[in-house]
Chain A
Amino acid sequence: MPIRLLFRNLRAHPIRALLTAGSVAVAVFLVCILDATVRGFTAAVDLAAQNRLVVMSNVSLFVNLPLAYQQKISQVPGIAQTCKFQWFGGSFKQKKGGFFAQFAVDPENFQTTYPEVGIVDGSYEDFRRRRDGCVIGKDLAAQYGWKVGDTVPLVSALYPRGRDGEEAWTFNVCAVYEARVRSLDQMTMYFDHAYLMEALDLGAAQGQKGVGTYSIKLADGARAETVMAEVDALFAGGPQRVKTTTEAEFNRQFVSMMGNVPLLLRSIGGGVLFAIFFAVLNTMMMAGRERTRDVGIMKALGFSGGSIAALLVVEALLLALAGAGIGALLAKGVEGPVARVVSMWAPGFAIDDRVLLQGLSIAAVVGLVSGMLPGLRAARLLPVHALRQEA
């Protein structure tokens, strides 16, 4: 029956219980999202393909490598496949903030180099055949309402068309893909690099010739370090020196570009925790103070200080966990939309078990400590003081 007492005490002040649980819910919601975002930054590194390398200019990400390099690279032993990978920098002007990633690739080699791209609609064959074809991600298709067969106009900042650079490139949606691994986002468009070069050659557009990076798929049994060193040595004398890294390393540089943003997010999480800790503690101290007389009665009846403290601790824990549960559910509920918003920076954003567990544990700790403080006070209270009797 102490359990009944516990629930009665909670029900005696329903608004207070709700508000306290509510603030814990908010805090856990935030903590889960922040945590998932920070983890999402590095997911691309942690889950990078082990058997892929990236070749880029040693000087700058923004300098292209000559097209002729691809032939030479593919002749290095240990390489199963190479694929061009060029950032397009386009935007969809018809929709505000219409910003997503586009890459020009080799349709012939793309699928074998990136097997995690799974076609779920349309035809990859069409993509290989049509010069102006493209493959778009599921989430991208959903967000803009594009279907197989649609024409997508994009204006590129890196490859401007027309005199004022505002003329649009048109792409035909040939297929839709979904990601077979977590580190790949579903918001990207892939099209034919030859389409790009053709327009530059014809003078219809301006921009750097060549390719930003080449992706390499290692053959089975090949050693990454050996291949990396060989490719770098190939072009040591120029005209463009290269730097070959593992895909994980390549992704890491984008993460480190984040600089202090992860730290910032973590600090915010810390601040949130403090705010919530004080809030729950406040509630429990108030509850403890209000029940001073009850504590005195129970002690007079013979209940031990420990059992009375336990009641307060369990009460705080219940409030905290109830709030945490709601917060976790809310976080899970917005997982989809938030993942899409942050997919550019944190492709691995996911409210997974680890994130949820962390949120719940934090709430539990807050509850425990918030209950222990008034609990200790109650345990040490002398019945005579609690009942405030006259001499």
Chain B
Amino acid sequence: MTEPAISITHVTKTYQRGGETLRVLDELDLQILGGTFYALMGPSGSGKTTLLNLIGGLDHPDSGDVVVGGDSLTSMSAGELARWRADHVGFVFQGFNLLPVLTALENVELPLLLTPLKKAQRRAQAERALELVGLTDRMHHKPRELSGGQEQRVAIARAIAVDPAVVLADEPTGDLDRHTADQVLELLQRLNRELQKTILMVTHDPVAAGYAQKAIHLDKGKLGRIDDNRKATVTAGH
């Protein structure tokens, strides 16, 4: 299970910002191995989030190819990408991004509506995901009744509800205090270890990066280096 799950080939992405053209990703080549927990790091503006969006099928590169799990994203239309996202990817955002009008359980159920599962099955799967993140007792609460850490865990449960191969997290601990952040990061580690999920986590926090197995460093839109992180295997003891 170490063939590249994600293949980035010669990808370039530019943005217009105030009349200027910014080259955020510059002919980037990158191979990501399946079942591995990566931290994606680099200074602000280095294109980390952009890369995450490309891998998640939220955006198209200007040139180059993005292949995830054998599917070439660059050749898909917007509609096809939407369907692909529903089955293959789970997102975790810095701002949690739960729908405020739905309960925790209903938020987790949301992506399951895009599957052919029946109501009872959806319910069961959502409850399982919540169980995994340890929030069974809060499942009927709305986001405003949950703490930041709990919201993020619900978001993670939502991200894995459809059992995707890849989980993309954008600064998941940015809005959390140290202790809660650790809990969330441990959870991500568990998902990687126990469920073999490929996890890509954008972060600028070296402590958070320490929870990952490898760290990808981007610099000015190009690949800087990839570090191996022995420390990642030693997480118990907190």
Contact = CB atoms under 8 A, between A and B. Distances in A.
- A–B contact at 8 Å CB threshold (below): yes
Interface of A: 1-2, 4-5, 8-9, 11-12, 293-294, 296-305, 382-384, 387, 389-391
A317 to B, nearest CB: 19
A303 B114 CA distance: 7
B70 interface: no
A376 B5 CA distance: 35
A12 B82 contact: no
Contact of A384 (B59, B84, B100): B59
A390 B101 CA distance: 26
A391 B15 contact: yes
Contacts of A302: 82-87, 111, 114
Contacts of A304: 79, 82-83
9 contacts: A4-B106, A294-B99, A301-B85, A301-B86, A301-B110, A303-B86, A304-B82, A305-B79, A390-B49
Contacts of B102: 4-5, 8
Interface of B: 15, 22, 24, 44-45, 47, 49-50, 53, 56, 58-59, 78-79, 82-87, 91, 93, 97-102, 106, 109-111, 113-114, 119, 158, 170
B78 to A, nearest CB: 7
Contact of B114 (A301, A383, A384): A301
Contacts of A294: 99
A292 to B, nearest CB: 12
Given A302-B87, A303-B86, A389-B93, 20 more contacts: A1-B106, A1-B110, A4-B102, A5-B99, A12-B100, A293-B97, A294-B99, A297-B98, A299-B82, A300-B85, A301-B85, A301-B110, A302-B84, A302-B111, A302-B114, A303-B114, A382-B58, A387-B93, A391-B45, A391-B49
A298 B170 contact: no
A12 B87 CA distance: 30
A389 B53 contact: yes
Contacts of B44: 390
A304 B110 CA distance: 13
A162 to B, nearest CB: 77
Nearest to A12: B101
Contacts of A9: 101
